[in-house]
Homo-oligomer: A and B are copies of this chain.
């Protein structure tokens, strides 16, 4: 299960490392869109866009479904949450370390004061 999450993190972060794919996620965050709507803001050829969509689907950041001739894409926010969760965990570790350092400095300052008093400073 941990390996599964690790693999999904590989895919999600890889998917998000490209500005076109981030722009697509950004667009889909505001609601579903057809492939042709998604293509509009970009000058790239359709095969390139479809390749980006495939990478996004593989990462499970988006999913798509076809009705007649129209393929509609939509966000899957759970994949975003996995990435957010990982980043928040690292920040948590970092902040815990800063708190420990603060506590340590406060202890040292306390000792310093006591030492100062004992020596009449």
Contact = CB atoms under 8 A, between A and B. Distances in A.
Nearest to A98: B77
A70 to B, nearest CB: 20
Contacts of A81: 91
Nearest to A75: B94
A93 interface: yes
A111 interface: no
A16 interface: yes
A25 B80 contact: no
A13 B6 contact: no
B26 A17 contact: no
Given A9-B19, A30-B94, A75-B90, 5 more contacts: A9-B16, A30-B97, A77-B94, A81-B91, A84-B91
